[in-house]
C-alpha cells in the first residue's frame, strides 16, 4: 500500500499517516459561515483537502473514507447580514436567515463544484446539531471545565493544561494581542464562549442546564459547533482535521481543549493540517486594495474552474499562494495543450505512479504538476489523461472552454507554407517572419516542422486581427 506522509501541525513534523481504522479513514474540515459568497481564500482549503480526499480514496478505497465539512449557519455575522436585509425589505428575521443561509449554501456548492471539488460524505449544518452541542456543554460544566456567567457559559482555559500546544504558545503569552473577546464576566481573558443569550427575534434554543435549570434561551458559540459535529459524526477520536492557518488559533486550539476535556479517553484529531493564506498579485487580498475576489468573480471574468484549480495546485499548500493573471494565462495555455494530447486516449490507464507519490509526500501538488509536464513531453496520452482526471484538472472529457474556436485557417496555412518554401529557396525569411508575427499577434499558435505548417487558434485568438493577411 502507498505510504502517505503528512505535516502534522501539532507535532511540527512530517509523519507517516497511519489511520485508526483503515476501513474507515475519517477527516473533518472546517467549512464556511454561510452569509456571503466564498472568496479565493475560502476556496483554497476546499481544493487542498479535496486533493487529500481523492488521495485517501485512491489508497484506501472510496468506500473506506469519511469526509465531513460543516456549514456554520448560526452566527453573529449571519444575524447582522439578515438584519440589514430586514431593514431594507422587512419580514421575519428567522425566515430571512433561513433563506440567506440556504441561498449561500447553494452558491457555495455551485462555486466549489466549478473548481472540481468532490462534495464531502457529510455536510452538516450547525443548527441540526444543537442538541449535541448542549449535551457537550453540560458535560464540560459537570467536569469543572466550564462555568455560567450572565446568561453565558464559558470554557475555563486554565482547566486544560495542554492549551496552546497546537499553536506553540503558552496561555500567558497568548493574552497579549490575542484574538479574544474581552468581557467582564470572564474569569480569564482567554476563556471562550460555549453558549450565549439570543435576543427574542434571533435564532435561539433552550440552553444547557445549570444548577437544575436551563441557563436560558440562546445559541452556541462558534467553537463548540465543530467539536460537537465532529464527535457525533466521526467519534471522539478520528484521523485528520484540516483548515486554513487562520483557524489554528483560536478556533482549532479551542476545539482541541473542549473536545479533549469532554472526552478525556478520546484523542480528538490525530493529524492537523493547515493551508497557508492567499495573495493576489503579490499583495494580501483586501477590499481596500481592490484585489478582493470571490470565486464567482473569477468565473464570471472568464477564468475556468480548471484554471483556478491549476493555479492553486501549483503552490504547495503550506506556502502562501499568489493568484496572478500571468499564472492564470499560463495555466490555461498548458491545460489546452494537455487536453489536446489527452483527447487522443481512452480511459484505460491508471494515474502516473510518480504523481501519486508526489501527492503522498505531504500533498506536494507542485511536484505532481511537474510530473504531468513530464508525461506531456513523453506524449504518454493515456497516463496523462488518467493523471489529469485524478487531480481533477480534467473531468470525463475536455471542457468546452478548451476546445479551439471553430475557424477556417486553411488559406492562411497555405499562404504561410508557400512563403516558407520560397524563403528556403531564396534564403530570405523576412516575409515569413512578418506573417508569423501577425499571426501570433492575433492569438494563433504557429507550428512549423518538416511535415508542414499548422495554425492553431490559441486562448487569446482574435479573428479581427487577421484581416488583410490572406
Annotated binding site for Zn(2+): 30, 226, 251, 255
Binding residue ranges: 30, 226, 251, 255, 287
Cβ atoms of 54 and 118 closer than 8 Å: yes
How far apart are the C-alpha atoms of 390 and 351, rounded to whole Å? 6
DSSP 75: -
User: 454 has which bridge partners?
Assistant: 447
User: 8 has which bridge partners?
Assistant: 13
Residue 423: how many other CB atoms lie within 10 Å: 15
Q: What residues contact residue 446 under an 8 Å CB cut-off, 6+ apart?
A: 416, 436, 439, 440, 453, 454, 455
Three-state secondary structure call for residue 309: helix
C-alpha cell of 466? 487577421
Strand residue runs (E) in 230-297: 237-244, 268-275, 278-280, 283-284
How far apart are the C-alpha atoms of 291 and 136, rounded to whole Å? 41
In the numeric block, the cell 510530473 is attached to 371
Distance of CA 388 to the CA centre of its chain: 18
Binding residue ranges for ATP: 287
Amino acid at each position: 500500500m502507498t505510504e502517505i506522509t503528512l505535516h502534522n501541525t501539532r507535532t511540527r513534523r512530517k509523519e507517516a499517516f497511519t489511520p485508526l481504522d483503515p476501513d474507515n479513514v475519517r477527516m473533518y474540515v472546517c467549512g464556511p459561515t454561510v452569509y456571503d459568497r466564498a472568496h479565493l481564500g475560502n476556496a483554497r482549503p476546499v481544493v487542498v483537502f479535496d486533493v487529500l480526499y481523492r488521495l485517501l480514496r485512491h489508497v484506501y478505497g472510496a468506500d473506506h473514507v469519511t469526509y465531513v465539512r460543516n456549514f456554520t449557519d448560526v452566527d453573529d455575522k449571519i444575524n447582522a447580514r439578515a438584519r440589514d436585509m430586514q431593514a431594507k425589505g422587512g419580514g421575519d428575521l428567522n425566515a430571512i436567515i433561513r433563506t440567506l443561509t440556504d441561498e449561500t449554501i447553494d452558491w457555495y456548492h455551485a462555486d466549489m463544484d466549478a473548481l472540481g471539488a468532490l462534495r464531502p460524505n457529510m455536510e452538516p449544518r450547525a443548527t441540526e446539531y444543537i442538541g449535541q452541542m448542549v449535551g457537550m456543554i453540560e458535560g464540560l460544566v459537570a467536569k469543572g471545565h466550564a462555568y455560567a456567567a450572565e446568561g453565558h457559559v464559558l470554557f475555563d482555559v486554565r482547566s486544560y493544561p495542554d492549551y496552546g500546544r497546537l499553536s506553540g504558545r503558552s496561555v500567558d503569552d497568548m493574552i497579549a494581542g490575542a484574538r479574544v473577546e474581552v468581557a467582564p464576566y470572564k474569569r480569564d481573558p482567554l476563556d471562550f464562549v460555549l453558549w450565549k443569550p439570543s435576543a427574542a427575534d434571533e435564532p435561539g434554543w433552550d440552553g444547557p442546564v445549570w444548577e437544575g435549570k436551563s441557563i436560558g434561551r440562546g445559541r452556541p458559540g462558534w467553537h463548540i459547533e465543530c467539536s460537537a459535529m465532529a464527535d457525533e459524526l466521526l467519534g471522539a477520536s478520528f484521523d485528520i482535521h484540516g483548515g486554513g492557518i487562520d483557524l489554528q488559533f483560536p478556533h482549532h486550539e479551542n476545539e482541541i481543549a473542549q473536545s479533549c476535556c469532554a472526552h478525556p479517553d478520546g484523542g480528538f484529531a490525530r493529524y492537523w493540517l493547515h493551508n497557508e493564506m492567499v495573495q493576489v498579485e503579490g499583495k494580501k487580498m483586501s477590499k481596500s486594495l481592490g484585489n478582493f475576489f470571490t470565486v464567482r468573480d473569477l468565473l464570471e471574468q472568464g477564468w475556468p474552474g480548471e484554471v483556478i484549480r491549476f493555479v492553486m495546485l501549483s503552490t504547495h499548500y503550506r506556502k502562501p499562494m499568489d493568484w496572478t493573471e500571468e499564472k492564470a494565462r499560463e495555466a490555461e495555455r498548458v491545460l489546452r495543450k494537455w487536453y489536446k494530447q489527452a483527447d487522443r486516449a481512452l480511459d484505460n490507464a491508471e494515474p502516473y505512479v510518480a504523481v501519486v507519490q508526489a501527492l503522498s509526500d505531504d500533498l506536494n501538488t507542485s511536484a505532481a504538476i511537474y510530473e504531468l509536464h513530464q508525461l506531456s513531453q513523453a506524449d504518454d496520452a493515456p497516463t496523462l489523461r488518467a493523471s489529469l482526471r485524478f487531480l481533477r484538472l480534467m473531468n470525463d472529457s475536455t471542457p468546452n472552454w478548451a476546445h479551439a474556436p471553430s475557424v477556417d485557417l486553411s488559406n492562411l496555412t497555405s499562404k504561410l507554407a508557400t512563403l516558407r518554401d520560397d524563403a528556403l529557396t531564396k534564403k530570405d525569411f523576412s516575409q515569413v517572419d512578418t506573417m508569423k508575427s501577425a499571426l501570433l499577434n492575433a492569438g494563433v499558435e504557429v507550428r512549423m516542422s518538416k511535415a508542414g505548417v499548422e495554425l492553431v487558434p490559441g486562448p487569446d485568438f482574435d479573428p479581427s486581427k487577421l484581416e488583410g493577411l490572406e
